[in-house]
Structure 1
């Protein structure tokens, strides 16, 4: 019985080692350059330090996504390019495996975002240009338009003011294509409410 327990314990330890480091297919996956198959089937090619991905490498996922760029302590950290299987592309900064810092995200439908990211989401100042010709320049919080921003329509009209949860909320002005103010006052959930009190 003790022998069986020892064997099972050894198997568990071996499985845990495979889970932690993956399988080295080629080269030096401890402190050099190599090719490693991860536990989820993704494939990493690049440098290692202390058995962890470290330096400029390529990580190809089983779903067709691919990341080429900096790694540190086994995570995406620094500058990198992430190409999604559907054709979307992100080029920019990473920290601890997530988009953090300045970056550019190009959608296959033609939309492009250039700006700040935090924990993988648009956060801070940014410019989102839509394929339709519309453009938003302003603040983002946790992935949505929030704070001060200007939305310019392809028709030439624009809204300038406060946003919350992707909608016009707070004080703002709506201009026609000649630059004349059509609406000036308080907005709630994209709807104009009233003019400010005099």
Structure 2
């Protein structure tokens, strides 16, 4: 009897429409336009391809941080803007979720650093923030 109950539990668990990462709340989050809410407080609205963020979209956190711009296979790619909860902002090119090429960095205090050169192998203050590190983990997760 216990093994039968366990088997039923496993079948129900397998077919339950619940994702450990989040859920699609609007549209087509597989191949199209949709809204996906992650349980860590993130919300993505934009284009999807093969179930990943791909095309143009916005990933926002309820702490005020967000990324708006291009995506490729679930990672920042192309032109985009990263706004940190602290108020810092980076506008420029991205590849594999790292800033690349020249971009503009506006520090939280208001100091502007135009034409900042970013190299993908470097980890500067922008990429050290808790907001960015958390996003990197989430966008590399298999949705």
TM-score (norm 1): 0.53
Is the 2:99–2:118 Cα contact (8 Å) retained in structure 1? no
**Corresponding residue for residue 3 of structure 1:** 4
CA distance in 2, matches of 1:120, 1:12: 42
**Corresponding residue for residue 80 of structure 1:** 80
Structure whose residues are more often strand by fraction: 1
The superposition leaves residues 133-191 of structure 1 with CA deviations (integer Å, 9 ceiling, x where unpaired) of xxxxxxxxxx9xxxxxxxxxxxxxxxxxxxxxxxxxxxxxxxxxxxxxxxxxxxxxxxx
**Corresponding residue for residue 34 of structure 1:** 34
Greater C-alpha radius of gyration:
1
- Where structure 1 has 5 or more consecutive residues not aligned to the other structure, the ranges are 123-142, 144-198
Q: Measured at CA, do residues 4 and 98 of structure 1 come closer, stay the same or move farther in structure 2, by a change above 3 Å? A: farther
Runs of 4+ displaced beyond 6 Å = none
State the Cα distance separating 1:8 from its structure 2 match: 4.1
Q: Measured at CA, do residues 120 and 15 of structure 1 come closer, stay the same or move farther in structure 2, by a change above 3 Å? A: farther
TM-score (norm 2): 0.71
- Where structure 2 has 5 or more consecutive residues not aligned to the other structure, the ranges are 129-143
Is the 1:80–1:91 Cα contact (8 Å) retained in structure 2? yes
Q: Measured at CA, do residues 54 and 104 of structure 1 come closer, stay the same or move farther in structure 2, by a change above 3 Å? A: same
CA distance in 2, matches of 1:10, 1:63: 37
**Corresponding residue for residue 139 of structure 2:** none
Higher relative contact order (CA closer than 8 Å, sequence separation 6+): 2
State the Cα distance separating 1:13 from its structure 2 match: 4.0
Report the aligned-residue RMSD. 2.5
Structure whose residues are more often helix by fraction: 2
